[in-house]
Structures are given as structure tokens and as C-alpha cells.
Amino acid sequence: MSTRILIPLDSSAVALGADEVAAAIASEASKRKGDVSIVRTGSYGMHWLEPLIDVGGVGFGPVTVADVPSLFDSEFGNHRLNIGRIDDHPFMKAQTRLTFARCGRIDPLSLAEYQAGGGLNGIGAAIMLGPAQTIEFVVRSGLRGRGGAGFPTGIKWKTVADTKSDTKYVVCNADEGDSGTFSDRMIMEGDPLVLIEGMAIAAIATGATKGYIYIRSEYPIAIQVMNQALRAARAGGLLGKSVFGSPYVFDIEVRVGAGAYVCGEETSLLESLEGRRGQVRAKPPLPAIQGLFGKPTVVNNVISLASIPAILSGGADEYKSLGTGRSRGSIPIQLAGNVKYAGLFEAPFGMTLGDLVMKIGGGTRSGRPVRAVQVGGPLGAYFPTSLFDTPFDYEAFTAKGGLIGHAGIVVFDNTVDLARQARFAMEFCAIESCGKCTPCRIGSVRGVEVIDRILAGNSVDDHLKLLDDLCSTLRQGSLCALGGFVPYPVMSAVTHFPEDFRKKVA
Amino acid sequence: MASHASWDEKHAAEIIGGFTSMAGATLPILHALQESFGFITERAIEMVADALNLSRAEVYGVVSFYHDFRREPPGKHVLKLCRAEACQSMGADALAARDKSDLGIDWHGTTADGRVTLEPVFCLGLCSCAPAAMIDGKLVGRLTETTLTSTLAKARA
Ligand SMILES: Cc1cc2nc3c(=O)[nH]c(=O)nc-3n(C[C@H](O)[C@H](O)[C@H](O)COP(=O)(O)O)c2cc1C
Ligand code: SF4
Ligand code: FES
């Protein structure tokens, strides 16, 4: 019998040598005339073990090319890199994997494996329910957009459905620009068909016939896998003139971004898709009413859309029963930066930040004490360890002066200088500003200058006051959250780590 | 290694012609042109403007808005180093400083011998194996000074 070896094609595994390991396994197998079939898969999300290979459910990692002969010698059994059954690993056992149920386990391009793993039940349900009931179902699940703003997905869909138009679009926001986040990338690389299924359900629900996935150019592997998956979906009848055998028509095209962070903002993204500079549009009109090419458009994040099939097949009330407060269901949390067990961890909302960083993440990778974590990307607040009791929940984070954003947690050890991090936030805003509002365009440059004076120990109190004023102006005078939220990282650093702003003060 | 064709107007016209039926084709065309020729020439901007019925200023505006599009030819090798927060937490700033001084260039610069262009990138989605880089399109995680130095030495040899 042929030995089936799963080797991730996920970017993080590839960046740690998975392609070289795959080549070495293939050549070792042919040298030994072994009957081995290699399948390139997504990642399970235990990135400290990458490249992590899976042989019959047992994991070996992190594998290097040099380990390959001894792995064959052990017949993929008793080996130093054997981590036991992957599903029994504590990092996996502690999770509730709904959106990521199949990621890492299946051939991402096989519709048959996708279906065997529970895929395609959602679209079957949507076709049976019809548009109105499908939307009702999504509303009832309590799903809120995972792109950052947390807007209820079902309500957005209803607006598009209720707007009359000859043409409607579903646009998937795969711009994932936030540092510390990679869940969109992992789904596109490891289970792209679930995103396609989710988009097709959104199309059926709203009456859209054409979809776009806007993927950032920094994700070459995701772009490639997504395009291959679209071809597989068309060949398998999931897309096209009769979606999954129904009368609905829908197809999807991948478009590639060009290195502008602001294009993750939905109206900027639409401008970019139309071929223009990614300048943010004033709202109203909402994209749901006048979006791409002026037509009603659903714009949703990858994870929002990829969560839909599991909701439709598993039940709205079941989904809603997970979570806490107004944050319902599960959320793929990304543990990033200086953290020991870095990777993707899907869990119901409600775990505390401290448990995520210390218990799940194991503290820092450097072994030094944790000093700060930034949650929610470059526009998210820096939290000290004294806020580690904050539950992972939209409202709880807002109450503490932060945000969840796209659920990335970046961990810093005690070598971090928060004044420098605040400076970086302003610099990033200056580099990425779309230029439409003066406070964002000019204020961010001023912000860098003011922090430079503080770093130099020059009239620190006056300049801190100026920084505070500048942040108020940015908060009030910005059209979008790039300028509007940059005060989060800056002022949280000032508030929670004031000593870092006074290093040069006698 | 990044190998690019030298400018060829006929080839450029063919590339542009392949996109005429696409809605909102500006970015896809610019990406395709840059992939072939390494950067966006003045003449390319004119041709895209003509093909899409836009003014030259509009196309120029698009090219200048997006960080990906270059107006100058890159070096033989392009090193994109991640500058974003997760990579900072694992020492990316020091790596970048070291790299800049080794190469004698700043961000967006190309070494005098034309071998290496250094570009910043804000996140490659490799934040769980930081610091990260992309070298001639290949992803690298957990970059160290040693790996970076040897990669650069290879690129400049
Ligand atoms: C500067 C900026 C960047 C953003 N980047 C992203 C992004 O990369 N991905 C994303 O899904 N949403 C991003 N958003 C949020 C989108 O504007 C929008 O809320 C989201 O795509 C809606 O989808 P959802 O409801 O499924 O979350 C960004 C917003 C701003 C202001
Ligand atoms: S806040 Fe900044 S990025 Fe947002 S619209 Fe204004 S200028 Fe553009
Ligand atoms: S922050 Fe460097 S790869 Fe994400």
C-alpha cells in the first residue's frame, strides 16, 4: 500500500524549507523504490513545528532535508521528530475548529476530499433554503465580519439583496495587510474551496452573479492556489452557469493588489478593482447599495465568507451558542511575533488575552518576559500584561481602549521600546495614507517629528501634550480608520508605557 | 534571480492587448508589464493610457500610488525585508540596519554594481516565523544575520 505523506505548501512552511523537504522525500522514496504519494496541503497552524509532515495522522516536525533518510529508516514511526497523533496534540485539542476544520488535512484542490471532509453541505442547504431564508440563517448565527469592523454579515447581505439591480457583486477582501495576521492566507492556501463555497452562498443569497477575490501581491502562494482551486471548482460544477446543479449563475476572478495597505479598506479596494488609485470613498453610499462599478456589492473578509459553509451545515443556533456577549461563534486567532508556540488557534470568543499568550502561546520565543502585545494589527492598541484578563471579545477590547481587528496578537518581550513602536505607527500611517484627508496625510508626518523630539528628550511634556492633540485631530478628522485609529497604538503606548517616553529625561 | 526582458514595444502591445475585454484592467496590465520588463517605462504609461482611454496623468497616478510599481529598473536581485511589527518583535530593525550598511544603500536603493535592490515590505503573512523576507520571489522565514549575509553574498557574487 502506498504511504501518503502530507507536506504543507503553506507559505510559513515553505519559508522554513517545506519545498526542499518535499523534494528530498520524493527523491529518497524513488531511491528506495518506496511506494510513496506526496500531497501538498495547508498547514495545521502549529508553525513552530513547520515543516510539519503528516503520515497517517502522525506528525513529524520540524523536518529538515537532513532528517529525511532517518525518517525513512524509521518507516515514519519511532523517530526523534515524531510528535504523536496531530489531533492529540494539546495545541490542537484545545481548539474548536469550524472554519479551519479541514485545513492541513486535505488536498486543497480536491473537490472529492473537500466533500468527504464535510464540504458542500452549506451550499446544498443554501440552495434548498433560498435567498431570504439563507440570509435569515446568517443573521441568526450572529456572525460579525472578521475583517476588523465586526459588522453583522447577515445584515450586510440583506441590504444587498434588497437593493434592486441588474448586476450585483460579491467581493472578497483578501488584502490581509495587518501585521500579525495570516488566517486569510492559510485558508486560501489550505482550504480554498471553503472560501469559494462561502462566496457562492453569498451570491445565491444576494442575487450576485460575479465575484472577485482581491488578494495582496505579498501572497504569491495564495494567489496560485486560489486560481487552481477556481479551476477545480468550475470543473466540478461549483461555479459557472449552474452552481452545484441549481439555476444560480456565479463565477469568481482573482485580482492582485499592488502593495497598498489602505486597499484593505473596502471602498479603497473597490477603487483599486476598478483600476484607479486606492483612494477611500466617502460613505454613504454604502458599497452594499453602490459598490463595485456602482452596483450593489457584498464586501466581506475571507474568514467571514469561509465561516459561512460551516454555519449553514452545522446550524445557526449551534454557531451562536459559542462565544460570549455579542461576539458569537469561533474566531481564528493568530499568535505572532515573539511567541513560543506561534501559529493559528481557532476558539470560541471569550478566552482571556493572558491565556492565549501565556498558556496557548507559551510566552515569548526569546525566553524573556512578555512586556507588551499588540492586538489587531498596526492600528491596534499595545496592551501591557496588566490587561491580560481582558476576554477576547469585540466589546471587551473596546472597553479597554483596544480592538480585536482581524484577531492577530503580536507578542513583544522586554527589549521592546514602546516609544519607538509609537513612532513606527505614525510612520506607517504616513507611508500608507491614501492622501485624501489632511490630518492623516500631514498629521502622521508631524506625529513622527513630535515623537522624534520626545525620543531626543526635547521638552517632553510639551511634546506629549502636542502628540495627544494631534491624535485627537486624527481621530476626529479622518475619513477612514487608517488615520482615525492610528491613535490606538500611539496613545496606548503613551498611557501604558509612559517610562519609555522619558528615557532621555533626567 | 529576477530576469527581465528589455523593453520591446511590440511585446508590450501584445501584453496590453490581452486585457482589453477585462473590466478595471489597469492593475492587471501594470503587473503583467512589470513582470515582463521589471519596471514601468514612460512609454508603457502612454500605451496603457491609450488602450484604456485614460489620460496619461491618470495612469501615472495609479503607478505612483501603489508601492509595487517601479519607475526604475531593479537590480539583478530584489530583497524585500519585512519591516512590520511582528518582524520587529524578532529583531527585524537590527537586521535591516545591518543589511543597509552592508549594501551601502537605503530602502528602495540599488547597489552600485546593480546586483541588489532593497525594498521594504509591510508583512508577508509570515508573522509566526519572523523575521521574514522575500528574495527574488522566494519566501524566507526566521531570517538570521548569518542566513541574510550568505544570501546577499551569493546574490552579489
Ligand atoms: C486601513 C484599513 C485597512 C483594512 N484592511 C482590511 C483587510 O486587509 N482585510 C479586511 O477584510 N478588511 C480590512 N479592512 C476593513 C474593511 O474596510 C471592511 O470593513 C471589511 O472588508 C468588511 O468585511 P467583513 O464585514 O467581512 O469584515 C480595513 C479597513 C481599513 C480602514
Ligand atoms: S484617513 Fe488617511 S487613509 Fe483614510 S481616507 Fe483619510 S487620508 Fe485616506
Ligand atoms: S510582520 Fe513580518 S511577516 Fe508579518
For residue A398, CA distances in Å to A49, A335, A407, A421 come to: 34, 20, 13, 21
SS3 content of chain A, % helix, strand, coil (to 5): 45, 15, 35
Chain centre distance of CA A168: 25
What would the pLDDT profile of A93-121 be if each residue is shown by its tens digit? Answer: 999 999 999 999 999 999 999 999 999 99
What would the pLDDT profile of B116-141 be if each residue is shown by its tens digit? Answer: 999 999 999 999 999 999 999 999 99
Residue B125: which of A219, A378, A416 has the nearest Cβ?
A219
Are B89 and A337 an interchain contact pair (Cβ–Cβ within 8 Å)?
yes
Are B125 and A50 an interchain contact pair (Cβ–Cβ within 8 Å)?
no
The alpha-carbon radius of gyration of chain B (Å, integer) is 17
In chain B, the residue whose alpha carbon lies closest to the alpha carbon of A411 is B89
- Adjacent-strand bridge partners of A214: A173, A255
- Which domains, ranges and CATH numbers included, belong to chain B? 9-65 (no CATH), 77-156 (3.40.30.10)
Candidate of B80, B119, B123, B140 to mutate for ligand 3, largest count of ligand atoms within 8 Å of Cβ: B123
Are B123 and A179 an interchain contact pair (Cβ–Cβ within 8 Å)?
yes
Q: Ligand 1 centroid vs A62 CA: distance in angstroms? A: 34
**Residues contacting ligand 2 via CB (< 6 Å):** A 262, 280, 433-437, 440-441, 478-480, 482-484
Report yes or no: B125 and A181 within 8 Å, Cβ to Cβ.
Answer: yes
- The amino acid that residue A11 corresponds to is S
Q: Ligand 2 centroid vs A479 CA: distance in angstroms? A: 6
* Amino acid A1: pLDDT: 63
Q: Which residues of B touch A259 (CB under 8 A)?
A: 66-68, 121
Please tell me whether the peptide bond between A489 and the residue prior to it is cis, using omega within 30 degrees of 0: no
How crowded is residue A408: how many other Cβ atoms within 10 Å of its Cβ? 30
Report yes or no: A108 and A190 within 8 Å, Cβ to Cβ.
Answer: yes
Smallest CA separation from ligand 1 atom 12, residue: A147
Whether residue B1 is predicted with pLDDT greater than 90 in this model: the reply is no
Q: Which helix (H) or strand (E) holds A319?
A: helix A316-320
For residue A30, CA distances in Å to A35, A36, A374 come to: 8, 8, 47
What would the pLDDT profile of B48-97 be if each residue is shown by its tens digit? Answer: 999 999 999 999 999 999 999 999 999 999 999 999 999 999 999 999 99
Taking the CA of residue B155 and the nearest CA in chain A, the distance in Å comes to 18
What would the pLDDT profile of A54-64 be if each residue is shown by its tens digit? Answer: 999 999 999 99
Candidate of A262, A486, A488 to mutate for ligand 2, largest count of ligand atoms within 8 Å of Cβ: A262
Mean pLDDT of A282-306: 97
A412 and chain B: CB distance < 8 Å anywhere? yes
| Residue A501 per-residue DSSP state | G
B43 and chain A: CB distance < 8 Å anywhere? no
Report yes or no: A450 and A463 within 8 Å, Cβ to Cβ.
Answer: yes
| Residue A161 per-residue DSSP state | H
What would the pLDDT profile of A311-348 be if each residue is shown by its tens digit? Answer: 999 999 999 999 999 999 999 999 999 999 999 999 99
| Rounded Cα gap, residues A71 and B51, in angstroms | 57
User: Would you call A323 helix, strand, or coil by DSSP?
Assistant: strand
Residue B127: which of A180, A217, A278 has the nearest Cβ?
A180
| Rounded Cα gap, residues B100 and A138, in angstroms | 51
Q: Give CA torsion, residues A396, A397, A398, A402, to 10 deg.
A: 160
How crowded is residue B147: how many other Cβ atoms within 10 Å of its Cβ? 14
- Which domains, ranges and CATH numbers included, belong to chain A? 3-93 (3.40.30.10), 111-320 (3.40.50.11540), 323-413 (3.10.20.600), 418-501 (1.20.1440.230)
Interface pTM, i.e. ipTM: 0.97
Report yes or no: A254 and A226 within 8 Å, Cβ to Cβ.
Answer: yes
| Rounded Cα gap, residues B76 and B154, in angstroms | 12
What would the pLDDT profile of A423-470 be if each residue is shown by its tens digit? Answer: 999 999 999 999 999 999 999 999 999 999 999 999 999 999 999 999
Q: Average pLDDT of chain B? A: 94
| Rounded Cα gap, residues B6 and A148, in angstroms | 43
Interface of A with B in 367-406 (CB under 8 A): 374, 378
* Amino acid B71: pLDDT: 95
Give the full edge-to-edge strand order of the sheet including A53-55.
A36-41, A3-8, A53-55, A58-60, A82-85
* Amino acid A504: pLDDT: 80
What would the pLDDT profile of A160-207 be if each residue is shown by its tens digit? Answer: 999 999 999 999 999 999 999 999 999 999 999 999 999 999 999 999
Are A12 and B90 an interchain contact pair (Cβ–Cβ within 8 Å)?
no
Report yes or no: A267 and A436 within 8 Å, Cβ to Cβ.
Answer: no
* Amino acid B151: pLDDT: 81
DSSP assignment of A94-145 equals: T---STTSSTTTS-TT-HHHHHHTTTTHHHHHHHHH-HHHHHHHHHHHT-B-
Q: Ligand 3 centroid vs A164 CA: distance in angstroms? A: 42
What would the pLDDT profile of A201-254 be if each residue is shown by its tens digit? Answer: 999 999 999 999 999 999 999 999 999 999 999 999 999 999 999 999 999 999
User: Would you call A412 helix, strand, or coil by DSSP?
Assistant: strand
Residue A264 in contact with ligand 1 by CB distance below 6 A: yes
Q: Ligand 3 centroid vs B134 CA: distance in angstroms? A: 11
Residue B130 in contact with ligand 3 by CB distance below 6 A: yes
B27 and chain A: CB distance < 8 Å anywhere? yes
Mean pLDDT of A368-380: 98
Report yes or no: A255 and A274 within 8 Å, Cβ to Cβ.
Answer: no
Report yes or no: B151 and B135 within 8 Å, Cβ to Cβ.
Answer: yes
- The CA-based angle A356-A360-A362, given to 5 degrees, is 105
Q: Average pLDDT of chain A? A: 97
If pLDDT is split at 50, 70 and 90, which confidence band does A506 have? low
Taking the CA of residue B91 and the nearest CA in chain A, the distance in Å comes to 9
* Amino acid B2: pLDDT: 57
A323 and chain B: CB distance < 8 Å anywhere? no
* Amino acid A111: pLDDT: 98
Are A337 and B141 an interchain contact pair (Cβ–Cβ within 8 Å)?
no
